[in-house]
Chains A and B, each alone.
Chain A
Amino acid sequence: MIFRAVLSHYRRHPLQLLALWLILTLATALWSGVWTLTGQARDSMQAGEAQLSGGQQLAPEDGSPVTVDDFVSLRRQGLCVIPWLEVAPTDARGRVVGIDPLAMACAEGDAPGAGMALDGEPFVDIAEAARLAESGRSARLRLYLMDGEQPLPAGWHRPPDPSRLSTGELADSFLLNLDALGILVVLVSALLIRSVYTLGLAQRRESLVLLERYGITRRRLRRCLLAELVILAGLGLVPGYLLGLRLADGLSGGFGAAMDNLFETTLLTTGESTTGFLVTLAVVLLVVLWCGLDLLRGGPAQGRPRFHPGLATACLLVGLVLLLVAGSLVTVFLGTGLMLAGAGLLTPLLVVRYLTPSPWAPPLTLWRRRELGVLSGRLALPMVALQLAAGTVIAVHALVSTFEDTFHDWLGQRLAGDLFVEVPDDRSLAPVASLLESDPAVAHWHPVIRGTATIGVGSGEQGVDLMATDTRSGLIRRWSLLESVADPWQAVGEGQVLVNEQLARRQGLAPGDQLMVGFGEGQRSIRVAGIYADYGRPAGEILMDRRYLPERFVPDFRSLTIALADMGNGSGTALVSALASAWQVDDLSVRDNDTIHRLANRVFDQTFALTRSISYLTLVLAGLALLMTGWVVLRSRAWYYHLLSAWGLTARERRRVVMTLAAEFMALIWAAALPVGITLTWVLVSRINPVAFGWSLPMAIYPGYWLELLGLFALAAVTVGWLASIGHDGKPGTMPVQAGGQER
């Protein structure tokens, strides 16, 4: 009976109940979705590690490619060796890894396949991978020795493993980045849920007081309200969690592809997990507890919002110092968190200061300022939530746009060519070199030889990617370098190397430094001539002129980059036929510039798809919550607005005043979001990105986008204003309750 009376509020305000449930559900969906995805990615990385944990790659000392016979021979000698057949991705299908579950049993010391989640893409039986390799896809067989203590047979050695090149924990940092975004979502949605709930509670004060007068103890009432909150949270939790799984499922395709492309980590679908549900439950309970704190303290927070200028300033200062000195991602996040907290605490204070009306202002402006002050107090929590959400969206947009611009320029330099022709195995470059030199259809050309090398790190070695090319080529010399010695291409032509930004950052290399580079036949000390941007590659890479490659260097991949003098009249086709004929092969693997551009763009779209989706969904959530709370608050103050008629304002004018009020309020939030957005942009591009991806970006801001966002806010303001003013024309509205000298 009491419970029915307590719940009667929602009978009168069903939309409020619906909105509260919706926000709970959506917020739960968002954070459980992010949690599920990052959890899956982490499990996948651990599974990838576990597959080869303790394993070391084995390779013939003579550099010849590994064969099935080698595998059999090593197994017959008693070595626990497992095969790993990696097939390169194509347009239609991603990377495929062929494994032999039967062979892996010796590594696990248990039944084959036990404890491994290697079912599903990209893991396939090695026979399937071999079939794909036979169909023309580039493939490479590797062997891993799973017992490092076993002595190696003659003719074999342990080379640096290209698939295990040091990536500086990039993948983990990438996920940490998403986790941080997930935590931000939790914070924003917790603010929203609390604000919506406390608003509803304030509205119900009257009926609760009435129930007390009927003899129901306050303690019992609180228990009822807490029970109601828990039930509501429960109702939101289950569909929210399920929706989160669907969300994760929907985003996992792109996210999985991004993980695969960026870090060669395959996303394994792990489905529902008890832990995932429990974490979501714990978060919901924490949020509910926060909402319920007021109940435990004896009712919703009383009086004006409390400001903590000292705390806000301290948060901002400490956060800034942490951001400036941070060496790890966790410190960066901590600093960012403190900065955001400081901004959240400071914003209502600044808004109130700003709104302090000047006594000389026109009466209506004076009234609007005062009313805005009241609204800022009432809507402090959703206002801060929307400010943080909008700030995040601004920052993510700036990051993605800056990246797109930078990446397109970079890709344009890297793919300066019309045709990219794969050199067939066992074919020399010599027969085609003279052909390409003499063909008038060819404007420029250069070979690209890819393989692996080692660099000396301390007393040990570390594997890096190696690219060798003809650095005299006009196409290569168009590359812009981040840093370099004077005349870097001349230096590279004389035997020096360039290193990618990732390697330079990781090893603290600068132009002019010496680097110990090993090619499997001893090390050479080589001078670093410059540093180039190398987006998307987690590993370090060195670039050198191919004339300085050791004669016995065994490349993983060779190709020719060809710029045609004239793309028309089938010159490309004729050239490819001539190359095939020179190499005496029937077919050549050829890719054109468009295909490669498309592939590369797809990779980077996928990289930011999730970040972008989460930030927009958070904005939508915050916007919804603000619409709802704004609407409720404005409607609760309809009585005051009606009093404006005493000033001679017509209903139409009053509506316009309310609209203006809503617009000013939204503009305030928008303005407050800008510094947050700019700071976050700086944190993302200059602090987080180098740690999470290994490369940095120039800082850029996009005021055009801010205006677009302002337009969106204006739309929200008009909607709130319109919703608040409809149905009140000519009616006086309800006079607010006076309790303890405070209007409610």
Chain B
Amino acid sequence: MNWTALFLAWLAGLSLILSGCGESPDTEGFAGLAETPPASSFAQPSPSDGIELPDDWGPHPDHRIEWWYLTANLRTEGGDPLGLQWTQFRQGLVAPDQAGGSPPASRWPLQAAWMAHGAVSFRGQHWFSERFARGGIGQAGAQAEPLRVWLDHWQLEATGSNQWRLEASGDGWSYRLTLVPGERVIRHGDQGFSVKSDSGFGSMYFSLVDIGITGTVKVDGTEYRVAGTGWLDREWSSQFLRSDQQGWDWFALRLDNGGRLMAFRVGRGGEAFRSGTWVAADGSVHALSGDQVEMVPLTSRETDHGQVPAAWRIRVPAHGVDITVRAPEGEYWNRGLYPYWESPVTVTGSHRGEGYMELTGYARP
């Protein structure tokens, strides 16, 4: 899906931090993620890779970038909707063929850097925190079996058969949730290979789209018991964004007829690259090409960071989908190193439902 722009911006910032220089990396193909891979490179994903579980829950050090990304539409005991997000990114800084093994932690190796985002959206307010860590010393990492993804004290871990626990906290918010991931795994694109540009670059991408979630969320000192459904994306790649591609619009929607829709748009205007996945109520999975998905912004919302298309019309005519997706009142900027919009949404139109929307590239510089 989507986080690439965000991630690339982070990489840009990261490279600035680590190099200590002020030159913008944008002109250099987003910190190395140019079309032409460097001579010593990370592995490139392809349809033949396939998705192997449970291994692919773990890290992919042969690939440059990857993430675990959970969004959830929950309700409090009082029935108020509450959205939350937890994301963890890994960025490989040293290609495996150059790494020369894993140095001991005492050398503070910087072969990979990690970033985590946590957010809670409730009653028109939005809380967000961001954390960073270097890989190779144990401060952050991931393992497939039993599943564990952590950065500092933020952690997603398997606590039993088909049960996970997610804990994270930041300024003014915290959550402690029990997740029941379910068995259904959606492989996007071609056997999990999701194309991200006309030139064919892409990523390996699968999702859990119906995670049962219960637990507690605390905001501004008040603790709420919550329950609802989450959507977890797992994605890894080494490069797939063209340096001229700007802006990402991504939607993960659960419709009330049992249908599930993931759709994204890379870039703006007529040149935008569109793709998606339709999961029918009967469980059949259909990869959607650009001409099968129509995504049109309907209204813009003036916010502190710029104008945001807070309402969209999304059509998938082949599957009878013609819906309006709308963010609730409020501002849902994740004000981190690179601000982006991450909000829960409601769905009306041919179907009703809810889900999450991520928009990048709208923040005023």
A interface residues with partner B (beta carbon < 8 Å): 67-69, 71-72, 75-78, 83, 85, 98, 100-103, 105-106, 109, 111-113, 118-120, 125-127, 129-131, 134
> Are B133 and A75 in contact (CB-based, < 8 A)?
yes
Q: 8 closest Cβ contacts across the A-B interface?
A: A119-B20, A78-B153, A113-B17, A102-B132, A111-B337, A126-B108, A68-B105, A72-B138
The complex places the Cα of A103 from the Cα of B134 at a distance, in Å, of 8
The complex places the Cα of A111 from the Cα of B339 at a distance, in Å, of 11
Candidates A67, A76, A105; contact of B106 at CB < 8 Å: A67
User: From residue A64, how far is it (CB to closest CB) to chain B in Å?
Assistant: 15
Chain A residue nearest to B337 (CB atoms) is: A111
Known A-B contacts A72-B137, A76-B139, A77-B153; the reply to A100 vs B108 at CB < 8 A is: yes
How many B residues, CB 8 Å from partner?
A: 30
Chain A residue nearest to B336 (CB atoms) is: A111
B interface residues with partner A (beta carbon < 8 Å): 13-14, 16-18, 20-21, 105-110, 113-114, 130-134, 137-139, 150, 152-153, 169, 171, 336-337
User: From residue A733, how far is it (CB to closest CB) to chain B in Å?
Assistant: 62
The complex places the Cα of A130 from the Cα of B105 at a distance, in Å, of 10
Chain B residue nearest to A77 (CB atoms) is: B153
Chain A residue nearest to B174 (CB atoms) is: A78
Candidates B139, B169, B171; contact of A109 at CB < 8 Å: B171
> Are A119 and B106 in contact (CB-based, < 8 A)?
no
The complex places the Cα of A71 from the Cα of B114 at a distance, in Å, of 16
- CB-CB under 8 A from A98, the residues of chain B are 108
User: From residue B217, how far is it (CB to closest CB) to chain A in Å?
Assistant: 17
13 contacts between A and B (CB under 8 A): A68-B108, A72-B137, A72-B139, A76-B139, A98-B108, A100-B108, A103-B133, A103-B134, A105-B131, A105-B132, A106-B131, A111-B336, A125-B18
> Are B132 and A125 in contact (CB-based, < 8 A)?
no
> Are B150 and A134 in contact (CB-based, < 8 A)?
no
> Are A100 and B134 in contact (CB-based, < 8 A)?
yes
> Are A130 and B133 in contact (CB-based, < 8 A)?
no
- CB-CB under 8 A from B107, the residues of chain A are 127, 130-131, 134
User: From residue B327, how far is it (CB to closest CB) to chain A in Å?
Assistant: 25
> Are A76 and B153 in contact (CB-based, < 8 A)?
yes
User: From residue A123, how far is it (CB to closest CB) to chain B in Å?
Assistant: 8
- CB-CB under 8 A from A68, the residues of chain B are 105-106, 108, 137-138
Chain B residue nearest to A118 (CB atoms) is: B20
- Beyond the given A78-B169, A105-B132, A112-B17, please list 18 additional residue pairs across the A-B interface where CB-CB is below 8 A: A67-B106, A68-B106, A68-B108, A68-B137, A69-B138, A75-B153, A77-B153, A78-B152, A85-B108, A101-B17, A102-B113, A102-B133, A103-B134, A111-B17, A111-B336, A112-B13, A113-B16, A127-B107
Chain A residue nearest to B130 (CB atoms) is: A105
The complex places the Cα of A103 from the Cα of B110 at a distance, in Å, of 12
The complex places the Cα of A67 from the Cα of B138 at a distance, in Å, of 12
User: From residue B315, how far is it (CB to closest CB) to chain A in Å?
Assistant: 38
User: From residue A241, how far is it (CB to closest CB) to chain B in Å?
Assistant: 23
> Are B137 and A120 in contact (CB-based, < 8 A)?
no
The complex places the Cα of A291 from the Cα of B130 at a distance, in Å, of 58
The complex places the Cα of A106 from the Cα of B336 at a distance, in Å, of 12
The complex places the Cα of A105 from the Cα of B131 at a distance, in Å, of 7
> Are A75 and B152 in contact (CB-based, < 8 A)?
yes
> Are B105 and A102 in contact (CB-based, < 8 A)?
no
Candidates A101, A105, A119, A127; contact of B109 at CB < 8 Å: A127
Most buried by B among A76, A118, A120: A76
Chain B residue nearest to A116 (CB atoms) is: B17
User: From residue A38, how far is it (CB to closest CB) to chain B in Å?
Assistant: 24
Known A-B contacts A68-B106, A111-B336, A134-B107; the reply to A102 vs B134 at CB < 8 A is: yes
User: From residue B18, how far is it (CB to closest CB) to chain A in Å?
Assistant: 7
Chain B residue nearest to A109 (CB atoms) is: B171
- CB-CB under 8 A from A125, the residues of chain B are 18, 108, 110
- CB-CB under 8 A from B108, the residues of chain A are 68, 83, 85, 98, 100, 125-127, 129-130
User: From residue A611, how far is it (CB to closest CB) to chain B in Å?
Assistant: 31
User: From residue A79, how far is it (CB to closest CB) to chain B in Å?
Assistant: 8
Chain B residue nearest to A102 (CB atoms) is: B132
Chain B residue nearest to A78 (CB atoms) is: B153
User: From residue A120, how far is it (CB to closest CB) to chain B in Å?
Assistant: 7
The complex places the Cα of A129 from the Cα of B137 at a distance, in Å, of 15
- CB-CB under 8 A from B139, the residues of chain A are 71-72, 75-76, 103
The complex places the Cα of A67 from the Cα of B108 at a distance, in Å, of 11
- CB-CB under 8 A from B152, the residues of chain A are 75-76, 78, 106
User: From residue B99, how far is it (CB to closest CB) to chain A in Å?
Assistant: 13
User: From residue B350, how far is it (CB to closest CB) to chain A in Å?
Assistant: 42
Candidates B13, B16, B137, B153; contact of A71 at CB < 8 Å: B137
The complex places the Cα of A72 from the Cα of B153 at a distance, in Å, of 10
The complex places the Cα of A184 from the Cα of B47 at a distance, in Å, of 75
- CB-CB under 8 A from B171, the residues of chain A are 109
> Are A101 and B337 in contact (CB-based, < 8 A)?
no
Candidates A72, A101, A109; contact of B18 at CB < 8 Å: A101
The complex places the Cα of A120 from the Cα of B21 at a distance, in Å, of 9
User: From residue B152, how far is it (CB to closest CB) to chain A in Å?
Assistant: 5
User: From residue A184, how far is it (CB to closest CB) to chain B in Å?
Assistant: 37
- CB-CB under 8 A from A112, the residues of chain B are 13-14, 17, 132, 337
The complex places the Cα of A343 from the Cα of B172 at a distance, in Å, of 64
- CB-CB under 8 A from A129, the residues of chain B are 108
The complex places the Cα of A525 from the Cα of B337 at a distance, in Å, of 52
